[in-house]
Structure 1
C-alpha cells in the first residue's frame, strides 16, 4: 500500500483531533500537522478534508476578519464530529494493536 493511501486515511483523523483541541484555520492547521509528524502533507489535501468534514456535518466554519490581511475561515468540531473522532480513535487504536501483533509475530518467526 502506498504511503499516500495510508496518509489519506490518517489525515481525516488527524484533522479531527487537531480541531477538537481548538478552533483553527487552514494555514494554522497545516502548520500543526506538519510539525506533528505530517511534514509532506499538501495544502489541497488538508483543505479537501476540511471541506468533506464540513459537508458531512463534522465541522462548522466561520469567516473571521484578520487584523493582518484577508479574513480567515475558522473550523470548529460539531457534536457529530466529536462522535466521529471518538469512533475513529477506537478503530485506529485497534488497527495499531493489530499491526503491532503482526510485527511481533513476524519478529518471533525471524528469530527461529
Structure 2
C-alpha cells in the first residue's frame, strides 16, 4: 500500500505546487510549509524544488530573486499566464477524476 500512496502523491505534486503559487507570489520554503499543513501533501524540499525548477524552465512560473537579511537571496515564484491556464486545466481534470472516484467508491468500503 505504501508504494501506491507514493505514486499518487507524485502524480499530484505539480498541481499542488502550482495551486500554492496561484494564491500569490511566494518563495519555495513557504510553498513547502503550506503543503505540509494539508494532510497527504507533506512534500519535502527535495520534492518541491525540482518541480519549481522544471516549471520555471517550461515557462509556467516566473522567478525573481530578492536579498534576504539571513542567508542567500530568496527566490520568489509566481504563475505566468501560460502556467495559470495549465493549472486551470489540471484542476478541472483532477476535480472530474476525484468526483468519478468518489462515485465509484460509494458503498465499496
TM-score under structure 2 length normalisation: 0.89
The match for 2:102 is 100
**Structure-2 residue corresponding to 1:73:** 75
Specify which structure has the higher proportion of helix.
Answer: 1
Does residue 19 of the first structure (1) align with residue 21 of the second (2)? yes
Give the aligned partner of residue 110 of structure 1.
Answer: none
Distance 1:2 1:106 in 2: 18
CA deviations on 1:53-95 (whole Å, 9 max, x unpaired) are: 1111110101110123321111110001100111001000011
Q: How many residues align?
A: 106
Query: What is the 5 A alignment of 1:16-55?
Result: 16-37=18-39, 38-39=41-42, 41-55=43-57
RMSD (Å) for aligned C-alpha atoms: 1.4
Any gaps of 5 or more consecutive residues in structure 2? none
Higher strand residue share: 1
The TM-score with structure 1 as length reference comes to: 0.87
The whole-number CA distance in structure 1 between the counterparts of 2:106 and 2:73 is 50
How far did residue 105 of structure 1 move? 5.3
| Structure 1, 84-93 or 29-38: larger mean CA deviation | 29-38
Q: CA deviation at 1:23?
A: 0.8
Please identify the structure whose Cα radius of gyration is greater: 1
User: Unaligned regions of 5+ residues in structure 1, if any?
Assistant: 108-112
SS, match of residue 59 in structure 2: coil
